[in-house]
Amino acid sequence: MIVILKKGITLQEKNKVVSFLQDKGFMVKEIVGTEDTVLGAVGTSSVDYRMVEIMPGVSSVVPISKPYKLASRELKKEDTIVSVKNVKIGGNRVCVMAGPCAVESYDQIMTIAESVRESGAVILRGGAFKPRTSPYSFQGLGEEGLKLLRKAGDAFDMPITTEVVSPSDVEMMTGYIDMFQIGARNMQNFELLKAVGRTKMPVLLKRGLSATIEEWLMAAEYLMASGTDQVVLCERGIRTYERATRNTLDCSAIPIVQKLSHLPVIGDPSHATGKRDMVQPMSLALVAGGASGIIVEVHNKPECAFSDGPQSLYPVQFEKLMRDIEALCPVVGKSLEKAPRIIPDSIHSDSAEHHEILDPTKIVVAFQGERGAFSELAVRRSFDEEAKVLPCHSFAETFDAVSSGKASYAVLPVENTLGGTIYDNLDLLAMHPELTVVGEQQVRVVHNLICVPGARLEDIKKVYSHPQALAQCKEFLASLPEIEQIPYYDTAGSVEFAKKQNDKSIAGIAGAPAAKFHKMEILAQGIETNPSNYTRFYIISREENASYIRSQAKSNKAALSFSVSDEPGALMKILSILGDNGMNMTKLESRPIPGKPWEYTFFVEVQLNEEIEFEKVCEEIKKAAVSFRVLGTYASVL
């Protein structure tokens, strides 16, 4: 049952409810949500719900209809975010786990770990115990394999996951790994599930070869009932009549499970297809279907692999897959999970960088607008959930918050695919030499008609939103000529205004996060005329905080500003320096210099790569320019 507690319940009252349920034989779990705090009570016992409902501090009692109680969305409305050391799985992120099917040697696992980490994987996988169909196939290196996997994980700052096949190995394995993996053949090995659940460690639970979704969730229930609430479900293909692929990848299971359960779901395209050339398209299909990540097999020499070579990607193929996932993430409203890169001195000491990693709970990120704005969505895709947000009334106030130390970072729009450059933020960046660009984020702008719960489309008489949002929804609004369009200073602010009016005839146009934050209802989704509507954001900070973001990905872009003398060919001379050094210019803008009529500062974005000596190029530009500044070097935080 679900016991919904009153907001004003005292600790003493709550403890009495818990004790009562425990005395009746229930296992009780407290869940603090964004709206309510509930007690989940599960077990084989029965009790008259009314006896609980009349207890002081109890608002209501709701029975759980599903056989999987703890894993059910009925018990917990919010998505569970599973933490594997510094990596998070679930929510709006896409987590990529990669590594060989089996750990074969020290050189092999170290080489592959370095490769997948450089490409963007955040968890290292590798088999030490291999359950094989044939008793004559390679069964893994056992505990020696765990030692090698642990060394590789520590060397490249990656949590590790590997499969456990025997309950007797569970205790030993806890000393080596960060996440257990339950394979498809062991999904219903209930004694193994109980032993792993008792460790309270994160678990990756693969779907059985012929398991139904309910059987899969019941296996997760075994883990949760035994002690762990950190369970990640993995769709790895099911056995059907089809023999063209190793298994049949059931992408449709992902949205179904997400409706039934709060647990994150990822996919395994390697085992699902069994063919290297199918891993890339199926990985993208999983992400498009809403998966919270993928687990992929990668081998530096798959033709020599001890197991599953035909389905293992070459490192160069994995690198391309990561870039494709990066490009897809903004389209499906997710961000690619990244972890700070820290390499100990013992590994590549000549290029190691040591940065102080900030405590996510102490990070404050500023943005312009009201809560639920698209800018806040960009913040949430770039930072951990523990980061605090600081809404600001204007762009200038947002810059000042970072400059003064009130906020560690700010996320600010710089360009929209339909509206063009946001010049105010380029000008403010030029006015704040103490601030630097450390990253960028892209967000697809999806507009929704949002109103108070219970309103119907025919009730709406007035719609409020930012003028740009009204213009971007022109066709939808034109189909409703009786509705008056009223400009408002902010999209999310229009939803807040509609809520305060509590009038069914008033609606706002904004993103889904604004509706969720203000507990309003989306009456019409995706009402923008052009679906190719993206906004690009800069992440800015003071230089002392830059390493936290820059450590997550190698900088591949730079923003520059410069001015030139008033003479023929002055601008061309700077542009020639960029071209002669092989730097691809992706943006060029001119902005008036305050107090100097008809004089301009030029703003440029360029692409970086390892073959370009960026500092050398900067020195050349300084000599040819009147003024020059590097506004920041950065990568996309997708």
- Active-site positions? 535, 537
> Residue 23 — φ and ψ, nearest 5°?
-65, -25
| Placement of tokens 């509705």 in the chain | 483
Residues 279, 110: Cα–Cα separation, whole Å = 23
Residues 270 and 279 sit within 8 Å (Cβ to Cβ): yes
E strands of 357-471, at which residues?
364-368, 388-392, 409-416, 420-421, 435-444, 448-451, 462-465
Structure tokens at 305: 């692999």
Cα–Cα separations (whole angstroms), residue 122 to 231, 296, 352, 491 = 17, 12, 18, 35
**How many CB atoms sit inside 10 A of residue 172's CB?**
13
What is the CA 351 to chain-centroid distance, rounded?
Answer: 28
How would you list the strands of the sheet with 27-32, edge to edge?
27-32, 37-42, 2-5, 58-62
Question: Cα(636)–Cα(231) distance, rounded to whole angstroms?
Answer: 29
Side by side, which strands form the sheet with 506-510? 484-487, 462-465, 506-510, 448-451, 521-524
Q: β-pairing, 420-421 with 409-416?
A: antiparallel
Q: For residue 307, give the DSSP letter.
A: S
Handedness of CA 21, 23, 24, 28 (dihedral sign): positive
511-to-91, 341, 375 alpha-carbon distances in Å? 17, 33, 10
Please tell me the distance from the alpha carbon of residue 520 to that of residue 530, in angstroms, as a whole number: 24
Give the helix/strand (H/E) hosting 618. helix 614-624
Backbone dihedral region for residue 595 (phi beyond 0: left; psi -120 to 50: alpha; all else: beta): left
How far apart (Å, rounded) are the C-alpha atoms in residues 65 and 575? 67
Q: What is the DSSP letter of 365?
A: E
> E-assigned strands of 164-278?
179-182, 203-206, 231-235, 265-267
Alpha helix (H) ranges present in 227-330?
Answer: 253-260, 269-273, 276-288, 315-328
